[in-house]
Amino acid sequence: MSPVARSPYDIGLDKNAANFAPLTPLTFIAWSAHAFPRRVAVIHGARRFTWRDTYARCCRLASALTCRGIGIGDTVAAMLANTPEM
């Protein structure tokens, strides 16, 4: 039996900081705001929010929660209509 031919792309390409970064909702929104600040991220009727606007709104909410003592490991729940405010 002959050994299985390996592609050069299979050798020495283990995950590391240079070739892999997990994408989370937090890293995605920060990246989107940086890469596409003026592109529309949210459309609700006549209302439009860019990625920059959306990221800024999320940062303000995170700051408000932090100011109220909510931190890593805490659970926050919201019961809202499916609107931009959600």
Residue 80, pLDDT > 70, answer: yes
pTM above 0.75, yes or no: no
- Measuring CA to CA, how many Å separate 64 from each of 34, 49, 59? 22, 20, 9
Alpha carbon of residue 37 to chain centroid: 14
Residue 4: the pLDDT is: 67
Q: What are the tokens at 34? A: 């940086």
Q: Are 84 and 46 in contact (CB under 8 A)?
A: no
Q: Phi-psi bin for 21: left (phi > 0), alpha (psi -120 to 50), beta? A: beta
Residue 73: the pLDDT is: 92
Q: Tell which wins on pLDDT, 47 or 11.
A: 47
Q: What is the pLDDT of residues 30-74, one digit of tens each?
A: 999 999 999 999 999 999 999 999 999 999 999 999 999 999 999
Domain range summary for the chain, segments of one domain joined by +:
20-67
Residue 5: the pLDDT is: 66
